[in-house]
Amino acid sequence: MSERITKDMARNIYFGGGVFAILIFVGLAFDSAHQIPKLSHSENITKSVVAGKKIWENNDCVGCHTLLGEGAYYAPELGNVFQRLGSSDETTFKAYMQGWMAAQPLDTPDRRKMPQFHLTPEQVNDLADFLIWTSKVNTQQWPPNIQG
């Protein structure tokens, strides 16, 4: 090999490296696409879960909360709220959600206020089902601690 890199050598390194990086990216994207069905448990999505996601989106919950690490960091992470506040019991969690949503906004000093969305009990139940489904997605130990 000569001591200098010629233009042809530089071009070959550039294009060879680019093709290699693209192949790695395509391989990882393909692997991720095949992992999603196993990790998300999409077979557990019900009409109630879909309705709960719509409520989540329509009320811009992600504007304050994070869900599986995505969203704003103003309010708590809700990806694992079912385990944290519902003790992984659906009846307990749904009762908690009914009371929590009805009690908003709390007048607690030094605490951020969550607005009152005036959701019906059925809508709160749908939102709870969405959060329950979300908590069962295999996030590979994300968030790293129980408080998110």
| pLDDT given for residue 1 in this prediction | 53
Report pLDDT for 82: 94
Instruction: Tell me which amino acid residue 113 is.
Output: K
**pLDDT category of residue 148 using cuts at 50, 70 and 90:** low
Q: Which stretch of 23-27, 78-82, 114-118, 142-146 has the lowest confidence by average pLDDT? A: 142-146
Q: Is the pTM of this model over 0.85?
A: no
Q: What are phi and psi of 81, to 5 degrees?
A: -65, -30
Q: What span, in angstroms and rounded, lies between the C-alpha atoms of 141 and 22?
A: 29
Residue 61 has pLDDT above 70, yes or no: yes
